[in-house]
Chain A
Amino acid sequence: MTVYKYFIKIALKNKWTILGYTIIFFSMSLISGSGATEREPKFMETRLNIGIIDNSNSELSTGLKDYLEGKHNMVDTIDDEDYIKEQIFLERADAIIIIPEDFQEKVINKEKSIKIYNDDRKIESMQIQNQINKFLMFANATYEDGKFNLANVNLALREKAKVKLANNNREKNNSINNEWFRNYYNFTSYVIIAMYIAIIGMVMTDFTDENIDSRMKISSKKFLNFNMELYLGQLTIAAIITSIFILGSIVLKGKYIGEVDFIKYVINIIVFSFTILCFTFFINNFTKNKFVISGLATVLSLATSFISGVMVPQEFLGEKTLLLAKFFPTYYFVKVNGTTVNSFSDISFNIFMQLSFAVAFILMGLYFSKAKQKA
């Protein structure tokens, strides 16, 4: 088992890569976890008196106005700085917003678009900025072919609101925990892709290096045994990494596992992990260039996470983006995490799709390795 032993040994020498991604992962999940559940509801419930001056009169500005009107009381105002300041000083309004003429363009270009006057003495008035940001972020995520999909934005905002309103019952806790697990496991897809390619992929380039490969070929080690040990090594490393993340969720939210589909998350991450291992196999047969591989680790993990709904929920992604996402297993992994399971058939299709990708990656890998042998 020399080959196995040294595969593990070299892989574990990448301790900084392993540690780095693990730290990124857990700090991200801690930040997003605490933020979502604690800070927002405190502001949420306060209705404020606000005034809006809409110089844009566009679809987007109307949408924003409708959204804010649903949350606050409207007061009249006029577009005059002194007047506005007076209104705020006398507490006739908690905040006044001015939407500029070129509002849509600025939003698309992600520039600062809205001017807000608010009452610094009233801490609640700060939430306006937050609400506007959220609206614009969602709006931007739906932007495609020169159009915003405001219906989707409203849907998403309402969904969030629903969660917030059901503040005191068990169900709300349940869905918050489910959301936490869902986000947590969705995000593992990013680190799993990045880590497998960066660690397993890199170690494999060492073993398949032409000179080192020749030494193996002339040795009395049987080719089959050699490969078996390498794959066993890969499985071991993959199992270690996957276990870290499963354990992490237990450590962080262990008391809620009973309330969520924990088994679903575990099965899903194992299937996904295996699929990405097969993907790494494909990459290793496709290229031996260390620079290409480390580049792929960074780019592919981020890009696939983004288009598949890890960073931004799938509901907010454009059709074309989602169509593209369907060509990579992360999409189906995220789907399973977002599905409420009553029976296995609820997720069977998406699990099946991931495993199909695994098979496809193996076949593609074999194809490239054969092609290379011939050359």
Chain B
Amino acid sequence: MVVEVKNLVKRYKELIALDHFNMEVEEGEILGLLGPNGCGKTTAINCILSLLNYDKGEIRVFGEKMTPNSYDIKREIGLVPQEVSVFENLTVIENTDYFCGLYIDDKNKRKQYVEEAIEFVGLKDYTKFYPKKLSGGLKRRLNIACGIAHKPKLIFLDEPTVAVDVQSRNFILNGIEKLNDEGSTIIYTTHYLEEAERLCKRIIIMDKGRGLVSGTNEELKSMISTSEKIVVGFTEIEDETVQNMKNILHVMDIEKAGEDYIIKFENGFNNLANLMNFIEENQLVYTKLQSQLPTLNDVFLELTGKELRD
């Protein structure tokens, strides 16, 4: 186990930011911490890294208790903080060298590491640029380079793609997969569920300082009762017919969304075929027919009664 968090409680005065939060991270995996704004993702990371004092709980990293003086453990950890945290008065290469230098004393080794990190985030053409001359996306890449240049075994990335254009985002996500392929264990926080779905082997869904559920993508989706949604639009349909649709095998619920109907099915096969049969029998004419497998948003919705993103 690379990281073990047990019953972590963190309060800011009245506000309970973490409420008996648990987390386990295994070597070599990408763990996603998924949750809405203010649910406690950053607080959890800061507690694990001993940046914050906590009220209760136990934190072990690489099997050892984490304290502010655990310098040997810290050497193996990299953080890409949520806020871009670099010197405005240093260039891309100077910034990377400075933060790498907080870990690596050997000059030659550091020079090589810094070059690799800059290459890795694709800032090779910008080494002499000051941060204020970089676009938002490039600044985020610099933020990443500063966090990973010392080749840590365990990397925390706190919403590294917020406010980033599509191109930079893909670049960053591919990079994270590459870091993982090279053997780093990764903890990735986000409130973009598509990112968590694409990137993470395992996901912890958080809300209000609590871990609601954890598991693989598939495990999480199988936990909820809705397993398939079919969106269908008709030229004309009578209320009675809609009522009858509920009798199709496995149908749980039907919602009207504008002109369309969302039909929710519980686990089962041939849902679409059964619906087609019903349409034929009732001689209905459809304008639209779409099957959707459940998303993590559905999971979140069912667990908390609200959407992950507003």
Q: Collect the chain A residues with CB atoms within 8 Å of residue B97's CB.
A: 2
- List chain B positions with a Cβ less than 8 A from chain A: 46, 49-51, 68, 71-72, 74-75, 77, 79, 81, 83-90, 94, 97-99, 101-103, 105, 146-147
Q: Is A168 an interface residue (CB 8 A)?
A: no
Q: Collect the chain A residues with CB atoms within 8 Å of residue B85's CB.
A: 209, 211-212, 214-215
Q: Shortest CB–CB separation between residue A365 and chain B, in angstroms?
A: 22
Q: Are A220 and B89 in contact (CB under 8 A)?
A: no
Q: Collect the chain A residues with CB atoms within 8 Å of residue B147's CB.
A: 215
Q: Collect the chain A residues with CB atoms within 8 Å of residue B68's CB.
A: 217
What number of A-B contacts does a CB cutoff of 8 Å give? 66
Cβ-closest chain A residue relative to B75: A220
User: Chain B interface: which of A5-13, A57-65, A89-97, A301-309?
Assistant: A5-13
Q: Is A219 an interface residue (CB 8 A)?
A: yes
8 Å CB contact of A2 from B81, B84, B86, B98: B98
Cβ-closest chain A residue relative to B76: A220
Cβ-closest chain B residue relative to A5: B101
8 Å CB contact of B79 from A9, A212, A218: A218
Cβ-closest chain B residue relative to A215: B85
Q: Are B83 and A10 in contact (CB under 8 A)?
A: no
Q: Is A216 an interface residue (CB 8 A)?
A: yes
Instruction: Tell me which of A5, A214, A218 has the highest count of chain B C-beta atoms within 10 A of its own C-beta.
Output: A218
Q: Collect the chain B residues with CB atoms within 8 Å of residue A214's CB.
A: 46, 51, 79, 81, 85
Q: Are A6 and B74 in contact (CB under 8 A)?
A: no
Q: Shortest CB–CB separation between residue B308 and chain A, in angstroms?
A: 27
Q: Is A221 an interface residue (CB 8 A)?
A: yes
Near B by CB (< 8 A), chain A positions 1-57 give 2-3, 5-6, 9-10, 13
8 Å CB contact of B81 from A6, A215, A222: A215
24 residue pairs from A and B, CB less than 8 Å apart = A2-B98, A2-B101, A2-B105, A3-B102, A6-B87, A6-B101, A10-B89, A10-B90, A206-B88, A206-B89, A211-B85, A212-B87, A214-B46, A214-B51, A214-B79, A215-B79, A215-B81, A215-B102, A215-B146, A216-B102, A219-B74, A219-B102, A220-B102, A220-B103
8 Å CB contact of B87 from A206, A217, A219, A220: A206
CB-CB contacts of A115-155 with B at 8 A, as 1s and 0s?
A: 00000000000000000000000000000000000000000
Give bound CA distance, A209 to B75, whole Å. Answer: 22
Give bound CA distance, A215 to B71, whole Å. Answer: 13
Q: Collect the chain A residues with CB atoms within 8 Å of residue B86's CB.
A: 212
Give bound CA distance, A41 to B102, whole Å. Answer: 63
Q: Collect the chain B residues with CB atoms within 8 Å of residue A222's CB.
A: 71
8 Å CB contact of B99 from A9, A10, A209, A219: A219
Q: Are A2 and B71 in contact (CB under 8 A)?
A: no
Q: Shortest CB–CB separation between residue A238 and chain B, in angstroms?
A: 19
Q: Shortest CB–CB separation between residue A35 and chain B, in angstroms?
A: 40
Cβ-closest chain A residue relative to B45: A218
Give bound CA distance, A45 to B233, whole Å. Answer: 110
Cβ-closest chain B residue relative to A226: B102
Q: Collect the chain B residues with CB atoms within 8 Å of residue A6's CB.
A: 87, 90, 94, 98, 101
Give bound CA distance, A2 to B95, whole Å. Answer: 11
Q: Are A221 and B102 in contact (CB under 8 A)?
A: yes
8 Å CB contact of A9 from B72, B83, B90, B105: B90
Cβ-closest chain A residue relative to B146: A215
Q: Are A10 and B81 in contact (CB under 8 A)?
A: no
Cβ-closest chain A residue relative to B52: A214
Give bound CA distance, A220 to B101, whole Å. Answer: 10
Q: Shortest CB–CB separation between residue B213 and chain A, in angstroms?
A: 29
Q: Are A13 and B89 in contact (CB under 8 A)?
A: yes
Q: Are B74 and A211 in contact (CB under 8 A)?
A: no
Q: Are B81 and A221 in contact (CB under 8 A)?
A: no
Q: Collect the chain B residues with CB atoms within 8 Å of residue A10's CB.
A: 87, 89-90
8 Å CB contact of B74 from A9, A212, A218: A218
Near B by CB (< 8 A), chain A positions 210-234 give 211-212, 214-222
Give bound CA distance, A163 to B90, whole Å. Answer: 54
Give bound CA distance, A2 to B49, whole Å. Answer: 22
Q: Are B51 and A221 in contact (CB under 8 A)?
A: no
Near B by CB (< 8 A), chain A positions 225-248 give none
Q: Shortest CB–CB separation between residue A217 and chain B, in angstroms?
A: 6
8 Å CB contact of B94 from A9, A212, A218: A9
Q: Are A219 and B90 in contact (CB under 8 A)?
A: no
Q: Shortest CB–CB separation between residue B142 and chain A, in angstroms?
A: 13
Cβ-closest chain B residue relative to A217: B51
Q: Collect the chain A residues with CB atoms within 8 Å of residue B101's CB.
A: 2-3, 5-6
Give bound CA distance, A13 to B88, whole Å. Answer: 11
Give bound CA distance, A211 to B85, whole Å. Answer: 5
The 10 closest A-B pairs by CB, nearest first: A2-B101, A211-B85, A219-B102, A220-B75, A221-B102, A220-B74, A220-B71, A218-B49, A10-B89, A6-B98
Q: Collect the chain A residues with CB atoms within 8 Å of residue B71's CB.
A: 220, 222
Give bound CA distance, A6 to B98, whole Å. Answer: 7
Instruction: Take A218-B74, A218-B77, A221-B103 as given contacts and tell me if A211 and B87 are in contact as well, using a CB distance cutoff of 8 Å.
Output: no
Q: Shortest CB–CB separation between residue B74 and chain A, in angstroms?
A: 4
Q: Collect the chain B residues with CB atoms within 8 Å of residue A215's CB.
A: 79, 81, 85, 99, 102, 146-147
Q: Shortest CB–CB separation between residue A305 and chain B, in angstroms?
A: 29
Q: Collect the chain A residues with CB atoms within 8 Å of residue B74's CB.
A: 218-220
Q: Are B83 and A211 in contact (CB under 8 A)?
A: yes
Q: Collect the chain B residues with CB atoms within 8 Å of residue A217's CB.
A: 50-51, 68
Q: Collect the chain B residues with CB atoms within 8 Å of residue A3's CB.
A: 98, 101-102
Cβ-closest chain A residue relative to B72: A220
Q: Are A2 and B88 in contact (CB under 8 A)?
A: no
Q: Shortest CB–CB separation between residue A345 and chain B, in angstroms?
A: 46
Cβ-closest chain B residue relative to A222: B71
Give bound CA distance, A222 to B72, whole Å. Answer: 11
Cβ-closest chain B residue relative to A2: B101
Cβ-closest chain B residue relative to A212: B85
Cβ-closest chain A residue relative to B84: A211
